[in-house]
Structure 1
Amino acid sequence: MSKLSNRTALVTGSSRGIGRGIAERLGRDGALVAVHYASNGEAADQTVKTIIAEGGNAFTVQAELGVPGDVDTLFDALRAGLEQHAGKVELDILVNCAGIMGGVAPEDITPEIFDRLVAVNAKAPLFIVQRMLSIMPDGGRIINVSSGLTRVANPQEIAYAMTKGAIEMIGLHYARHLGPRGITVNSVAPGVTNNGHPAFDNPEALEQMSKLSAFGRVGEPRDIADVVAFLASDDARWITGAFIDASGGSLLG
């Protein structure tokens, strides 16, 4: 419980899936975790309960991303939670994990679908970073969850992959900008990871997805969470602007 003790963290999209795994791992490492959710408060509460049961501390913050005022809503909820649970408004670790996928054929992409993906996956993280820097001390950590689809093709997710490419650019350029403050900014790219979708309960689908990895299995949230926890720690102080392949070797070809 010592690696991140006395530090605070915000993990967007942490009511389930990869985000939940990250929040739980940071909680185990000693951070006070703000568990963000858009609509499933019950799932977010369960994440908090798990963190507390494992000896950590956490609270929920609600904000729908991709709508007008989203960052203001998130920031206000975070500020209130930090004042209550930490006694100060200071954020040491920001993990941008919230995101949505498209899942439509290239010819079926509409401006509305594209705008929604950009709003949630690219615009919101950019302005979350901008706002959270006002309460992030020198030496802070920013980790953006990207996707292996910025390196391999899946025509069903062209627009989604474009937005994840954008979040990698947030990492690259902010890393340069924030270097003088000792704040690191990195991107982590999962491959196929079990996020609780029913497809992962289908043996045939699971077998096909497992073949994508060099290890012959799909990823689990803890596989990504452990990489994020490293980047959030002091051990990663000399890593910034990096793209970390956390796809289980799915990008090896």
Structure 2
Amino acid sequence: MKITIITGGSRGLGRAAAIACAAQGQGVILTYNRKPEQAAEVVRAIEEDGGEAIALKLDVADIASFPRFRDEVAAALSKRWGRSDFDHLVNNAGYGVFNPIASVSEAEFDGLFAVHLKGPFFLTQMLLPLLADGGAIVNLTSATTRVATPGVAPYAAFKGGLDVLTRYMAKEFGDRGIRANAVSPGAIRTELGGGLNDEFEAMLAAQTALGRVGEPDDVGNVIASLLSDASRWINAQTIEVAGGYVI
């Protein structure tokens, strides 16, 4: 059984990815930060469908906690699956802040940087010795790196950095057969940034070739597909999953 770690797997895109990966027969380690009850619900949903999953607490902004998390992952792998390594890492955890450049605070900037770029960099570094040769990494970026959207400049800038980092991961980990790709969602119906009101959703749908905003499953299924053997020759790519947003 392949084992997949998904950060921020208790809700939104992470939840959808966890369920999609489990449906493919992968064991899932999903992380949560503040809401263990949501994570437990995802684990229950996976187990009720015959899959295997556990939830571990992780604050992606807290670099100092990563050694503890690595040790908890190693213990869980041994106890639950009889393994010393895992196969896939999905760097998904994140949040949004809507604020124009003129009024972004240093605290807002630093918080977004820690979660969307610094955290994935050092978490991947910490878990790399446990990641099996021939494994795969998927980083969640954003269509806002391509389409400038006023109010999300720091978020988009750090997601752009993660796009670049993805290619460097593919280059540097290639000698171990580890692939690295990024998934870049467009407008998706999640809680990120406070969610979508009807007026905003209608505007986004009108800017999308397929005439609607995305659902979490639209992205979760792509993540699971990229981790599968069917995508074994896809590497160092950023794949926009946006239904044709602003084309």
TM-score (ref. length: structure 1):
0.93
Q: Percent of counterpart pairs with the same letter?
A: 34
Q: For 1:152 and 1:177, locate their aligned partners in 2 and report how far apart those are by CA, in whole Å.
A: 29
Any idea what SS the aligned residue of 1:155 has? coil
Q: CA deviation at 1:88?
A: 1.6
Length, aligned pairs only: 246
* Residues 134 and 176 in structure 2, CA contact (< 8 A), matched pair in contact too: yes
1:61 to 35, 56, 60: 56
1:181 to 160, 176, 180: 176
Residue equivalent to 1:93: 88
Letter in 2 for 1:190: P
* Residues 215 and 248 in structure 1, CA contact (< 8 A), matched pair in contact too: yes
Residue equivalent to 1:158: 153
Deviations 1:150-176 (A, max 9, x none): 001112000001110111122111101
* Residues 82 and 89 in structure 1, CA contact (< 8 A), matched pair in contact too: yes
Mark the CA change 1:126 to 1:92 in structure 2 (over 3 Å): closer, same or farther: same
Runs of 4+ aligned residues of structure 1 deviating over 2 Å after TM superposition are: 196-200, 202-206
Residue equivalent to 1:80: 75
Any idea what SS the aligned residue of 2:98 has? coil
Any idea what SS the aligned residue of 2:115 has? helix
Residue equivalent to 1:119: 114
* Residues 148 and 251 in structure 1, CA contact (< 8 A), matched pair in contact too: no
Residue equivalent to 1:3: none
Residue equivalent to 2:98: 103
Residue equivalent to 2:125: 130
Q: For 1:199 and 1:128, locate their aligned partners in 2 and report how far apart those are by CA, in whole Å.
A: 27
Deviations 1:193-252 (A, max 9, x none): 01146644x433332222232111110111111111111011111111101011111142
Q: For 1:11 and 1:148, locate their aligned partners in 2 and report how far apart those are by CA, in whole Å.
A: 20
Q: For 2:152 and 2:120, locate their aligned partners in 1 and report how far apart those are by CA, in whole Å.
A: 19
Q: Summarize the alignment of residues 1-253 of structure 1 with structure 2, pairs less than 5 Å apart.
A: 6-196=1-191, 199-200=195-196, 202-252=197-247
Q: CA deviation at 1:90?
A: 1.0
